[in-house]
Amino acid sequence: DAGVTQSPTHLIKTRGQQVTLRCSPKSGHDTVSWYQQALGQGPQFIFQYYEEEERQRGNFPDRFSGHQFPNYSSELNVNALLLGDSALYLCASSLARGLSTNEKLFFGSGTQLSVL
């Protein structure tokens, strides 16, 4: 049973460029969340996708956008990259929350993005 997979593992971009990161959720999961983790910090919630729509969003600018496909996989797009966007980007999958569900988030290993 494959867990959450992300690609690429590492990426180097320059300021102003655009980047697309990809995530395949754990088998059976239908919800994908994206987090940004700067060095020495905890992960920060970017947004969550369910049924191919953005369901909730954290405090990130519109330069950060995403998409979820019918097979539940997801992409994170960042436009007009800034130096401060350098971070580990984590994808987490889960089942859509039910009325009494404590679903665990399963994290991928992340994409390390460096903006030069």
Neighbouring residues of 14: CB distance < 8 A, sequence distance ≥ 6: 81, 115, 116
Residue type (1 letter), 111:
T
> Under the rule (CB under 8 A), what is the footprint of another protein?
4, 31, 33, 35, 40-45, 48, 50, 55-56, 58, 90, 92, 94, 97, 102-110
> Based on the number of CB atoms within 10 Å of its own CB, is 25 exposed (0-12), middle (13-18) or buried (19 or more)?
buried
Cis check: omega of the bond before 8, within 30 degrees of 0:
yes
DSSP, collapsed to helix, strand or coil, labels residue 53 as strand
CB closer to another protein, 16 vs 37: 37
Residue type (1 letter), 28:
G
CB closer to another protein, 24 vs 31: 31
DSSP, collapsed to helix, strand or coil, labels residue 73 as coil
CB closer to another protein, 20 vs 44: 44
CB closer to another protein, 90 vs 115: 90
